[in-house]
């Protein structure tokens, strides 16, 4: 068995740590680019959303490098993502690829026993003991959590750094050097080193940068290629950003959901506007907007792929949040035809508008 995973932000680094720790053969597909998107778009239904096409491109690239088993998260909720693994399997079979899928669904949907059985399939070819396998899994989860923490710090401090571009440079170096490490232990050491470096970045304590929350559909806000590297663009503009939805958040949220202990703050924040789960992360999108307003952020940018029904519902609710809280929200819808020039122009115009609001508020006071 030679396993692979689709790209989702920094997940490929944690996946490498897990497979190295287990001693399992694996293939990490090339980082997302136009190549993966063009491959996926060629074989996907035209009306299907951007994540589906990019993931299909990832699978085909990995299969051509020898992968025969795909590990992917699932969803048994109203969101179409729950059907993606079945659709991907049928498409790949039609193309002549013989590939097995291991779908990691939420325990509330399939039960803990079935979840454990699927997880054990990932490690069935590992020569390690059960205790060593659990250690490898815990190390991979720790690496994922450290990566998310470092990213959050870099995105926040980008607005305060004295030498512009320092946080972005350190973040990119962190990803590259961590991925090049040969063992999970060395990866963890490397991440701690870069965490300290970002903590030590010289900052202007008198700075008052714009603060923008990045909200929306989980794949397109975590996977930078799909959102045209929006967080990097905002860092370059000297804007501090925050994104609550991360891979480690997803793991924690999924495990706690059967007990209804998942993201209580987000659920409370969304109660007045969207008290129900309607699929995807629509409720989280609304809750994040309200929490960002409470945290003193200047605005939020919602990003989602064309045709995403949960986020379309969120999009219709966000104007009410914006009006009630006097909290500007920009919505960006992406697909394979999105032009970068127009995309950047809208982001820059939004940032300019937020700056003018600040100036107006200061002049009034």
Q: Domain locations in the chain?
A: 3-126, 142-157+160-205, 209-365
CB within 8 Å of 272: residues ≥ 6 apart:
290
What residues does 240 pair with on adjacent strands? Answer: 211
Which helix (H) or strand (E) covers residue 61, if one does? helix 50-63
Counted residue by residue, the chain has a size of 365
Note whether 3-126 and 209-365 share their fold.
yes
State the DSSP H helix or E strand holding residue 329, giving kind and residue range, or none if neither.
Answer: strand 329-334
Exposed, middle or buried by CB within 10 Å (0-12, 13-18, 19+), for 85? buried
pLDDT value of residue 305: 95
Average pLDDT of every residue of the chain? 93
pLDDT score for 363 = 58
Number of CB atoms found within 10 A of residue 265's CB:
13
Is pLDDT above 60 for 76?
no
pLDDT band, residue 78 (cuts 50/70/90):
low
What pLDDT shows up at residue 80? 78
pLDDT of residue 220: 96
Confidence of residue 105 (pLDDT cuts 50, 70, 90): confident
What is the average pLDDT across 159-175? 97
CATH of domain 209-365: 3.40.50.11900
- Condensed to tens digits (0 to 9), the pLDDT of residues 32-41 reads 999 999 999 9
pLDDT of residue 212: 98
State which fold the 3-126 domain adopts: Rossmann fold (3.40.50)
Element of type H or E holding 223:
none
The 3-state DSSP class for residue 305 equals strand
């Amino acid at each position: 068995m030679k396993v692979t995973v689709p790209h989702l932000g920094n997940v490929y680094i944690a996946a490498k740590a897990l497979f190295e720790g287990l001693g399992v053969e694996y293939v990490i597909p090339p980082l997302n680019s136009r190549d993966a998107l063009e491959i996926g778009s060629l074989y996907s239904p035209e009306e299907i959303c951007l994540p589906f096409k990019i993931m299909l491109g990832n699978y085909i690239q990995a299969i051509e490098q020898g992968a025969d088993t795909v590990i992917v998260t699932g969803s048994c909720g109203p969101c179409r993502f729950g059907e993606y693994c079945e659709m991907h399997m049928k498409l790949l079979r039609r193309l002549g690829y013989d590939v097995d899928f291991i779908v990691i669904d939420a325990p509330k949907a399939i039960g803990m026993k079935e979840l454990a059985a699927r997880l054990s399939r990932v490690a069935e070819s590992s020569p390690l003991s059960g205790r060593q396998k659990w250690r490898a899994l815990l190390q991979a989860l720790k690496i994922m959590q450290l990566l998310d923490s470092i990213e959050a710090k870099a995105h926040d401090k980008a607005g305060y750094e004295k030498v512009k571009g320092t946080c972005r440079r350190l973040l990119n170096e962190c990803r590259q050097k961590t991925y090049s490490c040969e063992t999970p232990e060395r990866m963890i050491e490397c991440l701690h080193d870069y965490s300290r470096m970002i903590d030590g970045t010289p900052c202007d304590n008198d700075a008052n940068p714009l603060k923008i929350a990045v909200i929306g559909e989980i794949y397109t806000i975590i996977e930078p290629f799909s959102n045209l590297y929006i967080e990097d663009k905002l860092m370059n503009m000297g804007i501090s950003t925050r994104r609550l939805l991360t891979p480690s958040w997803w793991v924690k949220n999924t495990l706690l959901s059967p007990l209804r202990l998942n993201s209580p703050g987000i659920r409370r924040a969304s109660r007045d506007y969207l008290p129900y789960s309607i699929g995807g992360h629509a409720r989280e999108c609304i809750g994040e907007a309200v929490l960002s307003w409470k945290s003193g952020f200047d605005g939020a940018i919602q990003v989602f792929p064309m045709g995403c029904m949960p986020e379309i519902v969120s999009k219709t609710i966000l104007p009410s949040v914006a009006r009630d809280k006097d909290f500007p929200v920009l919505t960006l819808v992406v697909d394979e035809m999105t032009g970068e020039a127009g995309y950047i122009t809208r982001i820059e115009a939004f940032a300019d508008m937020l700056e003018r609001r600040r100036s107006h508020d200061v002049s009034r006071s």
